[in-house]
Amino acid sequence: MELKNRRIVITGGTSGIGYQLVKQLFSDNELIVIARDQTKLNALREQFSGITTLKADLSKPNETKVVAEKIVNEYQYIDLLINNAAVQYCQLFIDDTFLTQHIIDEVNVNLTSVCLLTHQLLPTLLHQEKSIILNVNSGLALAPKTSSAVYCATKAALNNFSQSLRYQLAKTNIHVQQVFLPLVDTPMTAGRGVNKLSSEKAAEQILKGLETNTIEHALGKVKLLKLLLRIAPSFAKNMMKKY
Ligand SMILES: NC(=O)c1ccc[n+]([C@@H]2O[C@H](COP(=O)([O-])OP(=O)(O)OC[C@H]3O[C@@H](n4cnc5c(N)ncnc54)[C@H](OP(=O)(O)O)[C@@H]3O)[C@@H](O)[C@H]2O)c1
164 burial type by CB count under 10 A (0-12 exposed, 13-18 middle, 19+ buried): exposed
Which residue among 9, 11, 17, 198 has the greatest number of ligand 1 atoms within 8 angstroms of its CB, and so is best to mutate? Answer: 17
Cβ–ligand 1 contact at 37 (below 6 Å) = yes
Which residue among 42, 45, 184 has the greatest number of ligand 1 atoms within 8 angstroms of its CB, and so is best to mutate? Answer: 184
Confidence at residue 85, expressed as pLDDT on a 0 to 100 scale: 98
Confidence at residue 45, expressed as pLDDT on a 0 to 100 scale: 97
Confidence at residue 227, expressed as pLDDT on a 0 to 100 scale: 98
Decide if 137 contacts 179 (C-beta within 8 A). Answer: yes
List per-residue pLDDT tens for the chain, 243 residues long: 999 999 999 999 999 999 999 999 999 999 999 999 999 999 999 999 999 999 999 999 999 999 999 999 999 999 999 999 999 999 999 999 999 999 999 999 999 999 999 999 999 999 989 999 999 999 999 999 999 999 999 999 999 999 999 999 999 999 999 999 999 999 999 998 889 999 999 999 999 999 999 999 999 999 999 999 999 999 999 999 999
What's the CATH fold of domain 7-241?
Rossmann fold (3.40.50)
Q: pTM of this prediction?
A: 0.98
